[in-house]
Structure 1
């Protein structure tokens, strides 16, 4: 599985991150698309996932994230990879 951040942002009330996930089987794509509460859709065999955050929990709000942006992006991609791997363990 390969997880990449396509976009992210923050407004007065909430933040969002949009991920592109590739390398999943059709069965895995369907399972995530049908069972994950976040906004999802499948596009050209890849999963597009939009996760919303309350403003205080948004990972890219700190000054450090602006200085070490690549580090924060990589960390978020790794965390989502781990989360989805765990989520897929529930697939029957």
Structure 2
């Protein structure tokens, strides 16, 4: 591991995980497996809060983040574009703009 990354890594005892996370994250956003109130499951799609939804302009009719990888890219004028990436049916690359954030 390079030194810059190593400086950011924190190894905790099980008993210190929740108290450390709570310094940076509200309890309702800490996964329940770490003692918080967020019932996270692998594969869950993001549940965008009202503040983010107000600033998104969807370019797809579904108005939701699709499953699979999404890449945010900086565009002109301070705008950020959400691009659904990865592949469809394993062989067809996916590169679809789904939303813009202003």
Larger strand fraction of residues: 1
- Give your verdict on TM over 0.5: no
Rg comparison, structure with higher value: 2
Tell me the TM-score normalized by structure 1. 0.24
* Higher relative contact order (CA closer than 8 Å, sequence separation 6+): 1
